A and B are shown apart, each in its own frame.
Chain A
Amino acid sequence: MKHVKTLNTRDYKKSQITGGCGECQTSCQSACKTSCTVGNQSCENKNK
Protein backbone atom coordinates (compact mmCIF):
# COMPACT_ATOMS: atom_id res chain seq x y z
CA MET A 1 0.00 0.00 0.00
CA LYS A 2 1.16 3.50 -0.77
CA HIS A 3 -0.58 5.48 1.94
CA VAL A 4 -0.68 2.90 4.72
CA LYS A 5 1.87 0.70 6.37
CA THR A 6 0.35 -1.90 8.66
CA LEU A 7 2.40 -3.31 11.51
CA ASN A 8 2.14 -7.00 12.18
CA THR A 9 -0.21 -7.56 15.06
CA ARG A 10 -2.03 -10.47 16.61
CA ASP A 11 -5.67 -10.54 15.58
CA TYR A 12 -7.76 -10.49 18.75
CA LYS A 13 -10.66 -12.29 17.10
CA LYS A 14 -8.53 -15.22 16.04
CA SER A 15 -6.95 -15.33 19.48
CA GLN A 16 -10.41 -15.82 20.93
CA ILE A 17 -10.44 -19.28 19.40
CA THR A 18 -6.99 -20.47 20.43
CA GLY A 19 -6.43 -18.37 23.55
CA GLY A 20 -7.25 -18.61 27.22
CA CYS A 21 -4.77 -21.31 28.25
CA GLY A 22 -3.50 -19.09 31.08
CA GLU A 23 0.15 -20.18 30.91
CA CYS A 24 1.33 -16.59 30.50
CA GLN A 25 2.88 -14.53 33.22
CA THR A 26 0.74 -12.71 35.74
CA SER A 27 0.86 -8.99 35.14
CA CYS A 28 2.18 -7.90 38.51
CA GLN A 29 4.75 -10.65 38.67
CA SER A 30 7.24 -8.89 36.41
CA ALA A 31 8.22 -5.45 37.55
CA CYS A 32 5.23 -3.31 38.14
CA LYS A 33 3.40 -4.04 41.41
CA THR A 34 1.58 -0.71 41.30
CA SER A 35 0.02 -0.60 37.84
CA CYS A 36 -1.29 -3.07 35.34
CA THR A 37 0.44 -3.88 32.11
CA VAL A 38 -0.93 -6.70 30.04
CA GLY A 39 -0.10 -5.69 26.47
CA ASN A 40 3.56 -6.42 27.06
CA GLN A 41 3.11 -9.97 28.23
CA SER A 42 4.18 -12.68 25.86
CA CYS A 43 1.80 -15.43 24.91
CA GLU A 44 3.03 -18.84 26.01
CA ASN A 45 0.48 -20.92 24.18
CA LYS A 46 2.42 -23.24 21.91
CA ASN A 47 -0.69 -24.06 19.88
CA LYS A 48 -1.71 -20.52 19.03
Chain B
Amino acid sequence: MIHQYKNNGYNIVLDVNSGAVHIMDSLGYDLVPLMEQDINIDTDSLFEKTGGIYAKEEIEEAAAEIRELANAGSLYTNDVFEPYIEKFTDNKNAHPIVKALCLHIAHDCNLRCRYCFAEEGEYHGRRALMSFEVGKKAIDFLVANSGNRVNLEVDFFGGEPTMNFSVVKEIVEYGRSIEKEHNKKFRFTLTTNGVLLDHEILEYANKEMHNLVLSIDGRKEVNDRMRPTANGKGSYDIIMPKFKKAAESRNQTNYYVRGTYTHYNRDFSKDVLHLHDQGFEQISVEPVVCDPKEDYALREEDLPFLLEQYDILAKEIIKRRKEGRFINFFHFMIDLEGGPCVAKRLSGCGAGCEYLAVTPWGDIYPCHQFVGEEQFLLGNVDEGIVKPEISREFGACNVYTKEKCKDCFAKFYCSGGCMANSYHAGGNINASYDIGCELQRKRVECSIMIKAAEAE
Protein backbone atom coordinates (compact mmCIF):
# COMPACT_ATOMS: atom_id res chain seq x y z
CA MET B 1 0.00 0.00 0.00
CA ILE B 2 1.37 3.33 -1.11
CA HIS B 3 0.38 6.81 -0.02
CA GLN B 4 1.87 9.67 -1.96
CA TYR B 5 1.34 13.37 -1.56
CA LYS B 6 2.93 16.72 -2.30
CA ASN B 7 3.46 19.16 0.49
CA ASN B 8 5.54 22.34 0.71
CA GLY B 9 7.42 21.44 -2.46
CA TYR B 10 8.25 17.88 -1.40
CA ASN B 11 7.08 14.78 -3.27
CA ILE B 12 6.55 12.26 -0.52
CA VAL B 13 5.94 8.54 -0.95
CA LEU B 14 5.01 6.41 2.05
CA ASP B 15 5.24 2.67 1.87
CA VAL B 16 2.53 2.12 4.43
CA ASN B 17 3.23 -1.49 5.41
CA SER B 18 6.98 -1.19 5.94
CA GLY B 19 6.98 2.35 7.29
CA ALA B 20 9.53 3.48 4.68
CA VAL B 21 9.44 7.14 3.64
CA HIS B 22 10.84 8.24 0.29
CA ILE B 23 11.30 11.79 -0.95
CA MET B 24 11.32 11.74 -4.74
CA ASP B 25 11.80 14.08 -7.65
CA SER B 26 8.79 14.62 -9.94
CA LEU B 27 9.78 11.79 -12.25
CA GLY B 28 10.14 9.18 -9.52
CA TYR B 29 6.92 10.42 -7.92
CA ASP B 30 5.04 10.03 -11.21
CA LEU B 31 6.43 6.54 -11.83
CA VAL B 32 5.47 5.09 -8.45
CA PRO B 33 1.75 4.53 -9.21
CA LEU B 34 2.53 3.37 -12.76
CA MET B 35 4.86 0.64 -11.55
CA GLU B 36 2.72 -0.61 -8.68
CA GLN B 37 0.86 -3.21 -10.75
CA ASP B 38 3.77 -4.16 -12.98
CA ILE B 39 7.21 -3.50 -11.55
CA ASN B 40 8.87 -4.56 -14.84
CA ILE B 41 6.81 -2.28 -17.07
CA ASP B 42 8.98 -1.19 -20.02
CA THR B 43 10.43 2.27 -20.51
CA ASP B 44 8.40 3.04 -23.63
CA SER B 45 5.14 2.45 -21.79
CA LEU B 46 6.29 4.64 -18.92
CA PHE B 47 7.32 7.32 -21.41
CA GLU B 48 3.89 7.23 -22.94
CA LYS B 49 2.00 7.12 -19.63
CA THR B 50 3.89 10.12 -18.28
CA GLY B 51 2.88 12.14 -21.34
CA GLY B 52 6.32 12.27 -22.93
CA ILE B 53 7.59 14.97 -20.58
CA TYR B 54 10.62 13.02 -19.30
CA ALA B 55 13.61 11.73 -21.30
CA LYS B 56 13.67 7.94 -21.75
CA GLU B 57 17.15 7.60 -20.22
CA GLU B 58 15.94 9.43 -17.13
CA ILE B 59 12.86 7.22 -16.93
CA GLU B 60 15.02 4.12 -17.15
CA GLU B 61 17.25 5.36 -14.38
CA ALA B 62 14.39 6.31 -12.04
CA ALA B 63 12.55 3.06 -12.76
CA ALA B 64 15.66 1.11 -11.83
CA GLU B 65 15.81 2.94 -8.50
CA ILE B 66 12.16 2.18 -7.81
CA ARG B 67 12.77 -1.51 -8.56
CA GLU B 68 15.69 -1.41 -6.15
CA LEU B 69 13.43 -0.06 -3.40
CA ALA B 70 10.84 -2.74 -4.12
CA ASN B 71 13.49 -5.47 -3.98
CA ALA B 72 14.79 -4.10 -0.70
CA GLY B 73 11.30 -4.34 0.84
CA SER B 74 10.70 -0.63 1.17
CA LEU B 75 8.17 -0.07 -1.60
CA TYR B 76 4.97 -1.88 -2.60
CA THR B 77 5.15 -4.11 0.46
CA ASN B 78 2.18 -6.16 1.56
CA ASP B 79 0.56 -6.12 4.96
CA VAL B 80 2.02 -9.17 6.64
CA PHE B 81 0.69 -8.32 10.07
CA GLU B 82 -3.03 -8.96 9.73
CA PRO B 83 -2.76 -12.75 10.11
CA TYR B 84 -0.98 -12.25 13.44
CA ILE B 85 -3.38 -9.79 14.97
CA GLU B 86 -5.73 -12.37 16.41
CA LYS B 87 -2.89 -14.21 18.07
CA PHE B 88 -1.57 -10.94 19.37
CA THR B 89 -4.85 -9.74 20.87
CA ASP B 90 -5.66 -13.21 22.26
CA ASN B 91 -2.33 -13.23 24.01
CA LYS B 92 -2.92 -9.73 25.33
CA ASN B 93 -6.29 -10.73 26.69
CA ALA B 94 -4.99 -13.96 28.21
CA HIS B 95 -2.28 -12.09 30.10
CA PRO B 96 -3.63 -8.59 30.74
CA ILE B 97 -1.05 -6.09 31.88
CA VAL B 98 -1.85 -2.68 33.33
CA LYS B 99 0.89 -0.11 33.02
CA ALA B 100 -0.79 3.26 33.31
CA LEU B 101 -3.47 4.80 35.48
CA CYS B 102 -5.26 8.09 35.20
CA LEU B 103 -6.17 9.02 38.75
CA HIS B 104 -9.13 11.35 39.05
CA ILE B 105 -7.82 13.10 42.11
CA ALA B 106 -10.61 15.66 42.14
CA HIS B 107 -13.98 15.61 40.48
CA ASP B 108 -14.20 19.30 41.10
CA CYS B 109 -12.74 22.29 39.34
CA ASN B 110 -12.11 25.98 39.89
CA LEU B 111 -12.62 26.83 36.22
CA ARG B 112 -15.79 26.51 34.16
CA CYS B 113 -14.36 25.54 30.79
CA ARG B 114 -17.23 25.35 28.32
CA TYR B 115 -15.97 22.33 26.39
CA CYS B 116 -14.94 20.24 29.40
CA PHE B 117 -15.77 16.57 28.78
CA ALA B 118 -15.58 16.18 32.53
CA GLU B 119 -18.52 18.58 32.86
CA GLU B 120 -16.63 21.03 35.06
CA GLY B 121 -15.09 18.12 36.86
CA GLU B 122 -18.21 16.20 37.75
CA TYR B 123 -18.20 13.55 35.00
CA HIS B 124 -21.96 12.98 35.02
CA GLY B 125 -21.67 12.40 38.76
CA ARG B 126 -21.07 14.20 42.00
CA ARG B 127 -18.27 16.46 43.14
CA ALA B 128 -15.72 14.42 45.06
CA LEU B 129 -12.08 14.28 46.06
CA MET B 130 -10.02 11.10 46.05
CA SER B 131 -8.84 9.95 49.47
CA PHE B 132 -5.31 8.70 50.06
CA GLU B 133 -6.79 5.31 50.88
CA VAL B 134 -8.34 5.00 47.40
CA GLY B 135 -5.16 6.33 45.77
CA LYS B 136 -3.02 3.83 47.66
CA LYS B 137 -5.28 0.95 46.59
CA ALA B 138 -5.04 2.18 43.00
CA ILE B 139 -1.24 2.14 43.18
CA ASP B 140 -1.32 -1.37 44.69
CA PHE B 141 -3.70 -2.50 41.94
CA LEU B 142 -1.35 -1.10 39.30
CA VAL B 143 1.72 -2.79 40.77
CA ALA B 144 -0.11 -6.10 41.21
CA ASN B 145 -1.34 -6.09 37.61
CA SER B 146 1.76 -4.78 35.86
CA GLY B 147 3.58 -8.10 35.38
CA ASN B 148 7.20 -7.57 34.42
CA ARG B 149 6.73 -3.98 33.22
CA VAL B 150 9.16 -1.72 35.00
CA ASN B 151 7.96 1.71 33.88
CA LEU B 152 4.54 2.55 35.29
CA GLU B 153 2.71 5.76 34.56
CA VAL B 154 0.35 7.60 36.84
CA ASP B 155 -1.41 10.76 35.75
CA PHE B 156 -2.97 13.04 38.34
CA PHE B 157 -6.02 14.29 36.55
CA GLY B 158 -9.36 15.84 37.31
CA GLY B 159 -11.27 18.06 37.43
CA GLU B 160 -8.40 19.95 38.91
CA PRO B 161 -5.93 17.82 40.88
CA THR B 162 -4.29 20.74 42.70
CA MET B 163 -7.59 21.12 44.59
CA ASN B 164 -6.57 17.93 46.39
CA PHE B 165 -2.81 18.27 46.25
CA SER B 166 -2.05 16.88 49.72
CA VAL B 167 -3.41 13.53 48.50
CA VAL B 168 -1.33 13.78 45.31
CA LYS B 169 1.75 14.11 47.51
CA GLU B 170 0.76 11.20 49.71
CA ILE B 171 0.19 8.97 46.68
CA VAL B 172 3.56 9.97 45.16
CA GLU B 173 5.32 9.26 48.42
CA TYR B 174 3.61 5.91 48.74
CA GLY B 175 4.51 5.00 45.16
CA ARG B 176 8.14 5.95 45.68
CA SER B 177 8.28 3.92 48.89
CA ILE B 178 7.40 0.68 47.11
CA GLU B 179 9.34 1.14 43.85
CA LYS B 180 12.43 -0.73 44.93
CA GLU B 181 10.79 -3.73 46.50
CA HIS B 182 8.68 -4.33 43.35
CA ASN B 183 11.32 -3.28 40.80
CA LYS B 184 9.05 -0.57 39.39
CA LYS B 185 9.64 2.98 38.30
CA PHE B 186 6.77 5.42 38.54
CA ARG B 187 6.48 8.25 36.08
CA PHE B 188 4.03 10.74 37.44
CA THR B 189 2.25 13.41 35.42
CA LEU B 190 0.29 16.35 36.76
CA THR B 191 -2.34 17.96 34.54
CA THR B 192 -3.37 21.36 35.85
CA ASN B 193 -5.29 24.46 34.86
CA GLY B 194 -2.76 26.51 36.79
CA VAL B 195 -5.11 28.51 39.02
CA LEU B 196 -3.62 27.09 42.22
CA LEU B 197 -0.13 26.48 40.82
CA ASP B 198 2.03 28.22 43.43
CA HIS B 199 5.71 28.01 44.28
CA GLU B 200 5.23 25.05 46.62
CA ILE B 201 3.27 22.94 44.10
CA LEU B 202 5.69 23.78 41.31
CA GLU B 203 8.70 22.89 43.42
CA TYR B 204 7.11 19.57 44.29
CA ALA B 205 6.11 18.92 40.68
CA ASN B 206 9.64 19.64 39.48
CA LYS B 207 10.98 17.13 41.95
CA GLU B 208 8.48 14.33 41.37
CA MET B 209 6.56 14.81 38.11
CA HIS B 210 8.04 13.31 34.99
CA ASN B 211 5.66 15.44 32.95
CA LEU B 212 3.59 18.53 33.63
CA VAL B 213 0.60 19.35 31.43
CA LEU B 214 -0.46 22.98 31.67
CA SER B 215 -3.86 23.76 30.22
CA ILE B 216 -4.18 27.00 28.24
CA ASP B 217 -5.78 27.57 24.84
CA GLY B 218 -3.54 30.24 23.33
CA ARG B 219 -4.44 33.88 22.71
CA LYS B 220 -6.05 35.69 25.64
CA GLU B 221 -9.42 36.21 23.95
CA VAL B 222 -9.50 32.59 22.77
CA ASN B 223 -8.55 31.19 26.16
CA ASP B 224 -10.91 33.43 28.11
CA ARG B 225 -13.90 32.69 25.90
CA MET B 226 -13.75 28.97 26.68
CA ARG B 227 -11.87 28.86 29.99
CA PRO B 228 -13.59 31.27 32.40
CA THR B 229 -13.32 31.15 36.17
CA ALA B 230 -16.31 30.31 38.37
CA ASN B 231 -17.26 34.01 38.48
CA GLY B 232 -17.17 34.32 34.71
CA LYS B 233 -13.87 36.15 34.31
CA GLY B 234 -11.08 35.00 32.03
CA SER B 235 -8.29 32.78 33.35
CA TYR B 236 -5.48 33.85 31.00
CA ASP B 237 -4.03 36.59 33.21
CA ILE B 238 -4.09 34.32 36.25
CA ILE B 239 -2.35 31.36 34.65
CA MET B 240 0.00 32.76 32.00
CA PRO B 241 2.68 34.11 34.39
CA LYS B 242 2.60 30.88 36.38
CA PHE B 243 2.95 28.72 33.29
CA LYS B 244 5.88 30.78 32.02
CA LYS B 245 7.60 30.29 35.34
CA ALA B 246 6.82 26.56 35.31
CA ALA B 247 8.19 26.05 31.79
CA GLU B 248 11.40 27.92 32.60
CA SER B 249 11.86 26.10 35.89
CA ARG B 250 11.76 22.81 33.97
CA ASN B 251 14.31 24.08 31.43
CA GLN B 252 11.67 23.95 28.68
CA THR B 253 11.48 20.15 28.81
CA ASN B 254 9.18 17.50 30.25
CA TYR B 255 6.08 19.67 30.13
CA TYR B 256 3.43 20.76 27.64
CA VAL B 257 1.23 23.76 27.45
CA ARG B 258 -1.90 22.12 26.16
CA GLY B 259 -4.83 23.80 24.53
CA THR B 260 -8.04 22.91 22.79
CA TYR B 261 -9.22 24.54 19.59
CA THR B 262 -12.88 24.86 18.68
CA HIS B 263 -15.10 26.27 15.95
CA TYR B 264 -14.39 29.70 17.50
CA ASN B 265 -10.64 29.58 16.88
CA ARG B 266 -10.36 27.67 13.66
CA ASP B 267 -7.26 29.78 13.03
CA PHE B 268 -5.60 27.83 15.80
CA SER B 269 -2.13 28.07 14.24
CA LYS B 270 -2.14 31.59 15.69
CA ASP B 271 -2.72 30.15 19.15
CA VAL B 272 0.14 27.70 18.82
CA LEU B 273 2.43 30.47 17.64
CA HIS B 274 1.16 32.83 20.33
CA LEU B 275 2.19 30.27 22.94
CA HIS B 276 5.58 29.98 21.28
CA ASP B 277 5.91 33.77 21.20
CA GLN B 278 5.26 33.77 24.93
CA GLY B 279 8.32 31.56 25.38
CA PHE B 280 6.85 28.06 25.46
CA GLU B 281 8.72 25.43 23.47
CA GLN B 282 6.57 22.35 24.17
CA ILE B 283 3.09 22.92 22.81
CA SER B 284 0.04 20.76 22.22
CA VAL B 285 -3.18 22.24 20.84
CA GLU B 286 -5.88 19.74 19.98
CA PRO B 287 -9.27 19.74 18.27
CA VAL B 288 -12.24 19.86 20.63
CA VAL B 289 -14.22 16.65 20.96
CA CYS B 290 -17.82 17.23 21.93
CA ASP B 291 -21.46 16.80 21.02
CA PRO B 292 -21.80 18.02 17.42
CA LYS B 293 -24.80 20.09 18.53
CA GLU B 294 -22.59 22.41 20.60
CA ASP B 295 -22.03 25.83 19.05
CA TYR B 296 -18.26 25.44 19.47
CA ALA B 297 -18.10 21.96 17.86
CA LEU B 298 -15.93 21.47 14.81
CA ARG B 299 -18.00 20.84 11.71
CA GLU B 300 -17.26 19.07 8.51
CA GLU B 301 -17.32 22.36 6.61
CA ASP B 302 -14.52 23.62 8.89
CA LEU B 303 -12.18 20.92 7.61
CA PRO B 304 -10.56 22.64 4.58
CA PHE B 305 -9.70 25.64 6.74
CA LEU B 306 -8.41 23.48 9.60
CA LEU B 307 -6.26 21.36 7.29
CA GLU B 308 -4.71 24.51 5.87
CA GLN B 309 -3.92 25.64 9.41
CA TYR B 310 -1.72 22.59 9.89
CA ASP B 311 0.12 23.43 6.64
CA ILE B 312 0.66 27.01 7.80
CA LEU B 313 1.88 25.78 11.15
CA ALA B 314 4.22 23.18 9.68
CA LYS B 315 5.92 25.75 7.44
CA GLU B 316 6.25 28.23 10.28
CA ILE B 317 7.74 25.58 12.56
CA ILE B 318 10.39 24.74 9.95
CA LYS B 319 11.15 28.45 9.58
CA ARG B 320 11.41 29.13 13.30
CA ARG B 321 13.60 26.10 13.91
CA LYS B 322 15.92 27.20 11.11
CA GLU B 323 16.18 30.56 12.84
CA GLY B 324 17.26 28.75 15.98
CA ARG B 325 13.93 29.24 17.77
CA PHE B 326 13.04 25.72 18.86
CA ILE B 327 9.39 24.76 18.94
CA ASN B 328 7.91 21.32 19.45
CA PHE B 329 4.28 20.83 18.45
CA PHE B 330 3.00 17.62 20.03
CA HIS B 331 0.94 16.50 17.06
CA PHE B 332 3.80 16.94 14.62
CA MET B 333 6.09 14.75 16.67
CA ILE B 334 6.93 11.61 14.80
CA ASP B 335 9.76 9.27 15.59
CA LEU B 336 10.59 7.58 12.31
CA GLU B 337 13.77 5.83 13.40
CA GLY B 338 13.17 5.15 17.07
CA GLY B 339 9.41 4.93 17.02
CA PRO B 340 7.23 2.15 18.32
CA CYS B 341 7.37 -1.47 17.22
CA VAL B 342 4.58 -2.81 15.08
CA ALA B 343 2.97 -4.53 18.07
CA LYS B 344 2.47 -1.15 19.69
CA ARG B 345 1.27 0.36 16.43
CA LEU B 346 -1.36 -2.32 16.10
CA SER B 347 -2.53 -2.43 19.65
CA GLY B 348 -4.08 1.01 19.87
CA CYS B 349 -3.98 3.41 22.77
CA GLY B 350 -4.30 0.67 25.38
CA ALA B 351 -7.49 2.03 26.97
CA GLY B 352 -9.44 -0.58 28.86
CA CYS B 353 -6.38 -2.82 29.19
CA GLU B 354 -3.00 -1.20 29.70
CA TYR B 355 -4.44 2.17 30.56
CA LEU B 356 -7.29 2.64 33.02
CA ALA B 357 -8.93 5.53 34.83
CA VAL B 358 -9.83 5.54 38.52
CA THR B 359 -12.56 7.78 39.96
CA PRO B 360 -12.29 9.55 43.33
CA TRP B 361 -14.26 6.74 44.97
CA GLY B 362 -12.22 3.98 43.33
CA ASP B 363 -14.27 2.87 40.35
CA ILE B 364 -12.26 1.75 37.34
CA TYR B 365 -13.13 2.77 33.77
CA PRO B 366 -11.41 2.06 30.43
CA CYS B 367 -10.10 5.64 30.26
CA HIS B 368 -10.76 9.15 31.51
CA GLN B 369 -13.22 9.79 28.67
CA PHE B 370 -15.43 6.86 29.63
CA VAL B 371 -15.70 7.85 33.29
CA GLY B 372 -19.33 8.16 34.30
CA GLU B 373 -20.61 5.95 31.44
CA GLU B 374 -21.93 3.17 33.65
CA GLN B 375 -22.00 0.50 30.93
CA PHE B 376 -18.20 0.73 30.80
CA LEU B 377 -17.61 0.39 34.54
CA LEU B 378 -14.89 -2.27 34.72
CA GLY B 379 -14.47 -2.73 38.44
CA ASN B 380 -12.98 -0.95 41.43
CA VAL B 381 -9.79 -0.72 43.42
CA ASP B 382 -11.08 -3.14 46.07
CA GLU B 383 -12.13 -5.99 43.81
CA GLY B 384 -10.05 -5.21 40.73
CA ILE B 385 -11.51 -5.88 37.28
CA VAL B 386 -14.93 -7.46 37.78
CA LYS B 387 -16.04 -7.23 34.17
CA PRO B 388 -13.12 -8.64 32.18
CA GLU B 389 -15.39 -9.00 29.15
CA ILE B 390 -15.37 -5.21 28.73
CA SER B 391 -11.60 -5.20 28.99
CA ARG B 392 -11.39 -7.94 26.38
CA GLU B 393 -13.59 -5.95 24.03
CA PHE B 394 -11.18 -3.01 24.28
CA GLY B 395 -8.17 -5.30 23.95
CA ALA B 396 -9.56 -6.76 20.74
CA CYS B 397 -10.12 -3.35 19.14
CA ASN B 398 -7.41 -2.61 16.58
CA VAL B 399 -6.83 -1.23 13.10
CA TYR B 400 -8.15 -4.43 11.51
CA THR B 401 -11.42 -4.45 13.43
CA LYS B 402 -12.13 -0.86 12.41
CA GLU B 403 -13.52 -0.94 8.92
CA LYS B 404 -12.36 2.56 8.01
CA CYS B 405 -8.80 1.94 9.22
CA LYS B 406 -8.11 -0.96 6.87
CA ASP B 407 -7.36 1.18 3.84
CA CYS B 408 -6.08 4.24 5.69
CA PHE B 409 -2.42 5.14 5.25
CA ALA B 410 -2.22 6.60 8.75
CA LYS B 411 -3.21 3.40 10.56
CA PHE B 412 0.29 2.64 11.81
CA TYR B 413 0.72 6.17 13.14
CA CYS B 414 -2.57 6.66 14.98
CA SER B 415 -3.13 2.99 15.75
CA GLY B 416 -6.83 3.23 15.12
CA GLY B 417 -7.42 6.48 16.93
CA CYS B 418 -9.22 7.30 20.15
CA MET B 419 -11.77 4.67 21.17
CA ALA B 420 -13.81 7.21 23.12
CA ASN B 421 -14.07 9.38 20.03
CA SER B 422 -15.15 6.34 18.02
CA TYR B 423 -17.77 5.46 20.58
CA HIS B 424 -19.15 8.97 20.87
CA ALA B 425 -19.19 9.51 17.10
CA GLY B 426 -20.38 6.12 15.90
CA GLY B 427 -21.90 4.31 18.87
CA ASN B 428 -19.18 1.70 19.31
CA ILE B 429 -15.43 1.58 19.84
CA ASN B 430 -14.85 0.07 16.39
CA ALA B 431 -16.51 2.99 14.62
CA SER B 432 -14.57 6.00 13.36
CA TYR B 433 -14.72 9.69 14.10
CA ASP B 434 -14.37 11.04 10.58
CA ILE B 435 -13.44 14.64 11.40
CA GLY B 436 -10.78 13.43 13.82
CA CYS B 437 -9.44 11.00 11.20
CA GLU B 438 -9.15 13.73 8.56
CA LEU B 439 -7.22 15.92 10.97
CA GLN B 440 -5.02 13.03 12.02
CA ARG B 441 -4.10 12.18 8.44
CA LYS B 442 -3.15 15.78 7.80
CA ARG B 443 -0.99 15.89 10.92
CA VAL B 444 0.84 12.75 9.85
CA GLU B 445 1.46 14.23 6.40
CA CYS B 446 2.76 17.48 7.87
CA SER B 447 4.98 15.79 10.41
CA ILE B 448 6.62 13.67 7.71
CA MET B 449 7.05 16.74 5.52
CA ILE B 450 8.86 18.45 8.39
CA LYS B 451 11.19 15.44 8.61
CA ALA B 452 11.82 15.70 4.86
CA ALA B 453 12.63 19.39 5.18
CA GLU B 454 14.94 18.81 8.09
CA ALA B 455 16.76 15.99 6.28
CA GLU B 456 17.99 18.41 3.61
A: residues with CB less than 8 A from B are 1-13, 15-16, 18-45, 48
Q: Which 8 A-B pairs have the closest CB atoms?
A: A19-B341, A39-B413, A40-B333, A20-B343, A15-B341, A3-B28, A26-B100, A31-B256
Which residues from B are CB-within-8-Å of A22? 97, 99, 149, 344, 354
Give the contact stretch, choosing among B18-26, B131-139, B300-308: B18-26
> Is B192 in the interface zone, CB < 8 Å from A?
no
A22-B100 Cα distance, complex, nearest whole Å: 11
Which residues from A are CB-within-8-Å of B367? 28
Known contacts A6-B20, A39-B447; 10 further A-B pairs (Cβ under 8 A) = A3-B28, A4-B22, A9-B19, A11-B74, A15-B341, A19-B342, A24-B344, A28-B355, A34-B287, A39-B345
**Would you mind naming 21 contact pairs between A and B with Cβ atoms under 8 Å apart?**
A4-B25, A4-B28, A9-B20, A9-B336, A9-B337, A10-B341, A12-B345, A16-B81, A20-B343, A23-B149, A25-B100, A26-B99, A26-B153, A30-B189, A31-B258, A34-B260, A34-B286, A34-B420, A34-B421, A38-B413, A43-B339
A23-B335 Cα distance, complex, nearest whole Å: 16
Which residues from A are CB-within-8-Å of B345? 12, 38-39
Query: From residue 157 to 205 of chain B, which have CB atoms closer than 8 A to chain A?
Result: 187, 189, 191
Contact A42/B335 with A9-B21, A25-B153, A31-B213 known, Cβ cut-off 8 Å: yes
Q: Are A38 and B24 in contact (CB under 8 A)?
A: no
Q: Are A35 and B99 in contact (CB under 8 A)?
A: no
Contact A7/B330 with A35-B440, A36-B414 known, Cβ cut-off 8 Å: no
User: Chain B contact residues: over half helix, strand or loop, or mixed?
Assistant: mixed
Which residues from A are CB-within-8-Å of B440? 35
Which residues from B are CB-within-8-Å of A5? 22-24, 455
Q: Are B24 and A3 in contact (CB under 8 A)?
A: yes
Q: Are A3 and B27 in contact (CB under 8 A)?
A: yes
Smallest CB separation, B453 vs chain A (Å): 11
Task: For the complex, count residues of B whose C-beta is within 8 A of A.
Answer: 88
The chain B residue sitting closest to A17, CB to CB, is B341
**Chain A CB within 10 A, most for which of B20, B149, B369:** B20
The chain B residue sitting closest to A20, CB to CB, is B343
A37-B28 Cα distance, complex, nearest whole Å: 30
> Is B327 in the interface zone, CB < 8 Å from A?
no
Say which residue of A6, A16, A40 sits within 8 Å of B341 (CB atoms).
A16
Q: Are B23 and A27 in contact (CB under 8 A)?
A: no
The chain A residue sitting closest to B436, CB to CB, is A35
Which residues from B are CB-within-8-Å of A2? 61-62, 65
Q: Are A27 and B415 in contact (CB under 8 A)?
A: yes
A24-B251 Cα distance, complex, nearest whole Å: 23
Which residues from A are CB-within-8-Å of B455? 5, 7
Which residues from A are CB-within-8-Å of B25? 3-4
A38-B65 Cα distance, complex, nearest whole Å: 31
Contact A8/B336 with A29-B189, A30-B330 known, Cβ cut-off 8 Å: yes
Q: Are B341 and A39 in contact (CB under 8 A)?
A: no
**Chain B CB within 10 A, most for which of A11, A16, A39:** A39
Which residues from B are CB-within-8-Å of A13? 18, 73, 77, 80, 342
Q: Are B349 and A34 in contact (CB under 8 A)?
A: no
Q: Are A31 and B284 in contact (CB under 8 A)?
A: yes
> Is B340 in the interface zone, CB < 8 Å from A?
yes
